[in-house]
Chain A
Amino acid sequence: MYKQTPAERLVTLTCCLLSRPSLGLSKNELFQAVTAYAQAGSDAAREKMFDRDKSAIREAGFILEVIGNDGFDDTDSARYRIQHSSFSWPEDFELTPQMLQLLEIAGKAWNSQMMGDAARSGIMRLRSLGLIPMSTDLAMLSPRLLAQHPAFAPLANSISMNQMARFNYRKADLSEQIREVSPKKLRQLAGEWVLLADENGQIKNFLLRRIVSSVSELPDSATVVSLAAIDQAEAELLIHVENQVAKIEIAPDTEAFWHFNPGPELIVDLNYMDEALLAEDLMEYGSDLVVLEPTSLAKRISESLLRVVELHA
């Protein structure tokens, strides 16, 4: 007996669902129409396969509706159909060779990281819009988006789905708490990914690298925050960065000297968002530099270096 592959099952299910755009099909009708379901060894196996396929179809971008049973899924009277808006590509849009190249670069920026597959499959789908040659004007540029933190994808998803999220957050002082937030935006500032989120009516910034658990999406919808409130929070962070200034003395003809390019007095002022992160950046230069101000930063670096020495003695 011919056994359908999972990909064949998905295409067949999609085509069956599209064959009844208004009425939709019941689960039983689908179980009779799709070869793999009809041949399933048990009801449980069939149900499991169907559940997996519904998720795959939704993840592929189809809007799968459940009708005729007050929207409740998975009952015998429920009917399934694919919404026509699943195919609503912009009318006045035409992909050009230059755009295709930009999309390729944007997709490759993920490299093999967590969203790389999604970017590649998105480009594949966009290429179905026509046999367009790709421009090579920007071929000499190869940007790599470094967003490998496992929290990135679930948070991006929570923002897009407007859902609350929960995670464990460990502050620089090592205190750890469970945080339940309404994620609003992911930003990369000075090379660090920062989540802007509403927590109990207050907009706060969370460094992704200090999220020390997996991120779970909560069933509750995210709280509504106005764009003005987000703008204000961003502006406040900028003011915070402007007000945080460290004074650093750089040793001449060192890597730090090349990097920071200080004036003849060999002193640079650096603005920073987070003292612990600045300490990391500065410790990389070892004895090439000395922190003059603030003393808290100098003390932090000194203690951290001592810890490294003790750990490797």
Chain B
Amino acid sequence: MPKQELDADELFNLALSIVGIVLRDGSMQVTELANHFDVSERAIEKAVKVIANSEDIANYETHFEVQDWLLEEGEVSFTPGRSNLTRPPVLSQRQAVALGTGLEYLSSLPGFENNTDLETLRRKLIHSVTPVQVESNFSKNTELDLLRDAIRSGVSISCEYRNQKGETSMRQIDPLRIDFLGKRHYLRGWCRQNLEVRSFRLDRMIKLTATGEAISQDALAAEISENVYGEANQQIEVQVIAKPEAAEIFWNFPTSQRPELITGEYHGTIRIGNLASLGRHITRYGGQVRVIAPKEARLAVFGFAQSALLGIQKPENED
């Protein structure tokens, strides 16, 4: 959904961008510009009014001659007037670092290697040297290729899948999208067993095959949430305290509000779907994250860590 409300800096940026495209390509429809810039029509109208209201009151000079009556009919049309602004400036430092980092990241992922367009963008457009390097050690390229082909061809796949509770089952999945998320990679797809879009970790899938069967209408109509870890409406709220080194716990789960820094530690609440996997997520931080409530969540962590500890302390002469 396009952004409805823009702050002053965003509106300034949009106004500069509209100046650039309209003075280059001529008048355009509000709807066309809204689609192009992925903002609402209202945002376009506001930005055009920003352009229209620009004037030098000391010298009685209007910077742009905007056709107000055309704007009322949904068309954006103006000429430069007394302004020398005909195009936006090149990318700002921050924009270049953000996009440059994103492009560097893409170039490290399977599916983007040897992409000549990517190379051109990095070389010509990102004018500053982007000081970022992302290394990927993804090892399931064969599976990834199979999934990409299946998505392109619109066919379902089947595999053996082990879920986060440790349960293994055969699945038929209509593959929709592949999400690369830090070290982990997920298939987002319509699960024919559960009849909903689910996230499947690629390293938990084995014996992956394309079935040749077309993906279902349900899959085609399904919406994929942006949140791969789960929805913000997940039912169980877990209160945790994390040291700064482990603050990422709040980024890895949906949260109802930003964690608060109190005497050098982050206090906050994460939302989870079930307690089965909480133990592993908390235990990995070796005490840098502790669960405060509810009691069942504390018990889940205690149980996981104690079982791991007992596993380590098994007798050497075990049969």
Q: Which residues of A contact B (CB under 8 A)?
A: 4-8, 10-12, 14-16, 18-19, 21, 29, 32-35, 38, 56, 59-63, 86-90, 92-93, 96, 98-99, 102-103, 105-107, 109-111, 115-119, 121-131, 138-149, 156-157, 159-161, 170, 183-191, 209-210, 212, 254-255, 258-259, 279-281, 283-287, 290, 298, 300-313
Q: Please name 23 pairs of A and B residues whose Cβ atoms are closer than 8 Å in the assembled complex, sorted by A.
A: A7-B9, A7-B12, A12-B53, A12-B56, A21-B84, A99-B121, A124-B17, A125-B95, A127-B21, A129-B24, A140-B175, A140-B178, A141-B111, A143-B106, A146-B251, A160-B93, A160-B128, A185-B133, A187-B135, A290-B312, A304-B287, A308-B286, A312-B301
For chain B, give the interface size range: 35 or more
Q: How many A-B residue pairs have CB under 8 A?
A: 374
User: Pick the contact of A59 from B55, B92, B102, B281 — CB < 8 Å?
Assistant: B92
**Complex contact A305–B283 (CB within 8 A):** yes
Query: Given known contacts A118-B99, A128-B16, A191-B183, what 15 new A-B pairs fall within 8 Å (CB)?
Result: A6-B8, A8-B53, A11-B12, A14-B85, A15-B83, A119-B102, A125-B16, A125-B88, A140-B176, A142-B178, A186-B133, A212-B264, A255-B166, A286-B307, A305-B305
CA distance A309 to B311 in the complex (A): 14
Task: Let me know if B191 is at the binding interface, CB within 8 A.
Answer: no
A110-B13 in contact given A59-B94, A131-B25, A156-B131 (Cβ < 8 Å): no
CA distance A10 to B146 in the complex (A): 51
Which A residues are CB-close (under 8 A) to B24? 128-130
Q: Is the interface of A mostly helix, strand, loop or mixed?
A: helix
User: What's the minimum C-beta distance from A223 to chain B, rounded to whole angstroms?
Assistant: 15
Q: Most chain-B CB neighbours within 10 Å: which of A107, A124, A160?
A: A124
Q: Which residues of B contact A (CB under 8 A)?
A: 8-21, 24-25, 28, 32, 36-38, 46-47, 49-51, 53-59, 61, 63, 82-85, 87-99, 101-103, 105-106, 109, 111-112, 115, 117-118, 120-121, 124-125, 127-129, 131-135, 137, 148, 151-152, 162, 166, 175-183, 188, 203-204, 206, 226, 228, 244-248, 251, 264, 279-287, 290-291, 298-299, 301-302, 304-313
User: What's the minimum C-beta distance from A120 to chain B, rounded to whole angstroms?
Assistant: 8
Which A residues are CB-close (under 8 A) to B307? 286-287
**Complex contact B121–A102 (CB within 8 A):** yes
CA distance A233 to B202 in the complex (A): 33
Which A residues are CB-close (under 8 A) to B32? 131
**What are the 8 A-B residue pairs with the smallest beta carbon separation, nearest first?**
A106-B102, A304-B286, A287-B311, A122-B95, A128-B20, A61-B92, A307-B287, A191-B183
Which B residues are CB-close (under 8 A) to A149? 247-248
User: What's the minimum C-beta distance from A154 to chain B, rounded to whole angstroms?
Assistant: 11
CA distance A142 to B36 in the complex (A): 21
Closest to B185 in A: A143
User: What's the minimum C-beta distance from B34 to chain A, rounded to whole angstroms?
Assistant: 12
Closest to A114 in B: B98
Which B residues are CB-close (under 8 A) to A21? 84
**Complex contact A115–B101 (CB within 8 A):** yes
A125-B91 in contact given A38-B57, A186-B133, A304-B286 (Cβ < 8 Å): yes
**Complex contact B92–A60 (CB within 8 A):** yes
**Complex contact A255–B204 (CB within 8 A):** yes
Closest to B59 in A: A33
Closest to B94 in A: A118
User: Pick the contact of B302 from A105, A131, A281, A309 — CB < 8 Å?
Assistant: A309
User: Pick the contact of B95 from A121, A143, A159, A302 — CB < 8 Å?
Assistant: A121
Closest to B134 in A: A188
